[in-house]
Structure 1
Amino acid sequence: MNDISKDIIEAELISGISLCINDFNYDKKEVLIINANNIALLNFISTFNINVHYVGSLDNISSNINTYSRAIELKTSKFDVIVDLDNKTTTQYASLLKSNGILIINLDDLNINKIKESNFNVKMPFKIEGKFYLFLSNRFHPLADFSSQKVDLISDFKYYNEGIHRAVFALPNYQKQALRGVIRN
């Protein structure tokens, strides 16, 4: 059996979690990826029929990705999905995210105060390969609005599937108890 790299696992999970949502049509969607040193994420998410914008300096990324060295250069003003893998705050994204958009950031740990300060209706932490992330949206819930049919239609997934999607959002009882009233699960 072949092992799959952590970068591919992260790429597929973040792509699947943000794109396999009911009512999320890929046509004319705008996705912004910031602070991602995972070239697999950029190349994988760009295979969908969406507009991908990347702020960073990675080389060898797909030619259909709009690349910017600084966020100030962005030509699109509102995004359906924003993924920032090196920022622990959500305050600067209110003006960039569409009202029904999805924001995914990383977390150092499950710090209740960091999660509380996120001004979103839906706040769901998840864990990939020992790293914590936070799914945020004012409209979509990553489990209740999940579309298994969309996962089945994407043949490029080597790792991600419906069971994995649901499993990454599972928390031990002591963590669920500590986060009660802070997250929506």
Structure 2
Amino acid sequence: MKDFIYNEMMVHVPLCTHKEPSNVLIISLNSAGFVAEIQKYKNDDISCDVLSADINLLREAADDKYDVIISELETDAAVLAHFNRVLKDDGLLVTTHPSLDDVSENKRIMQILGKYAKIIMPYNLGNGETALLASKAYHPTADIILQRTDLLDGLEYYNCDVHPAAFATGNNVRKEYLGVIKN
């Protein structure tokens, strides 16, 4: 699959879910594609910090600073606690995670996220993989900012129809993750 689909889905899903994203943290060894997608928000005042995938740099980030975190950092309890610490009260996190076929590892991650977020949902990245969205306030299908999605120029994949469709899951996933996915 094309990299542009992955980049668009990792960036635009959280930025079009959060009511007023102004501070974004990207944690990635290859952040250029994410940064390019954030720059498409010309009418919004969004600042973006980029960290390499290093937990030590995350430890230095200020408390309650970010509205959105987009991460490719391998997650464990310590990393998720730092994400919670640096996210604002209405913040949301999008992170990569193991395949949904790895049920025990994903349940572990989702249960930890459940301590910090009201909503935890996997979504399709358009390339056969999924990401996890964890939100302290906003629901990714109920709170989508349609005007923001419609005003974005230069997108090749993401749109206001793809956004909610990305959260559709089969019955096998619903059954396997019953009580862990919070939507």
Q: TM-score, normalised by structure 1?
A: 0.80
- Determine the structure 2 residue equivalent to 1:43: 36
Cα distance between partner residues in 1 of 2:176 and 2:59: 38
The ranges of structure 1 where at least 4 consecutive aligned residues each deviate by more than 6 angstroms after the TM superposition are none
Amino acid at match of 2:69: I
- Determine the structure 2 residue equivalent to 1:86: 73
RMSD: 2.2
Residue segments in structure 2 that go unaligned for 5+ positions in a row: 101-105
Matching residue within 109, 115, 118 for 1:114: 109
- Determine the structure 2 residue equivalent to 1:126: 123
- Determine the structure 1 residue equivalent to 2:152: 154
- Determine the structure 2 residue equivalent to 1:9: 5
Cα distance between partner residues in 1 of 2:31 and 2:57: 18
Structure 1 residue matching 2:85: 3-state secondary structure? coil
Cα distance between partner residues in 2 of 1:157 and 1:12: 8
Give, in angstroms, the shift of residue 72 of structure 1. Answer: 5.4
Report the more deviating stretch, 146-155 or 71-80.
Answer: 71-80
Counterparts in 2 of 1:38 and 1:8: CA distance versus 1, 3 Å: farther
Report the more deviating stretch, 100-109 or 48-57.
Answer: 48-57
Give, in angstroms, the shift of residue 21 of structure 1. Answer: 2.3
Cα distance between partner residues in 2 of 1:173 and 1:31: 33
Give, in angstroms, the shift of residue 70 of structure 1. Answer: 3.5
Cα distance between partner residues in 2 of 1:41 and 1:144: 24
Cα distance between partner residues in 2 of 1:75 and 1:46: 23
Identical columns (%) = 29
Q: Is 1:103 aligned to residue 90 of structure 2?
A: no
Q: Is the 8 A contact 2:31 2:50 kept in 1?
A: no
Greater relative contact order structure (CA < 8 Å, 6+ sep): 2
Residue segments in structure 1 that go unaligned for 5+ positions in a row: 58-68
Structure 2 residue matching 1:109: 3-state secondary structure? coil
Report the more deviating stretch, 73-82 or 108-117.
Answer: 73-82
Structure 1 residue matching 2:161: 3-state secondary structure? helix
- How many residues are paired up? 167
Cα distance between partner residues in 2 of 1:127 and 1:56: 24
Counterparts in 2 of 1:47 and 1:152: CA distance versus 1, 3 Å: closer
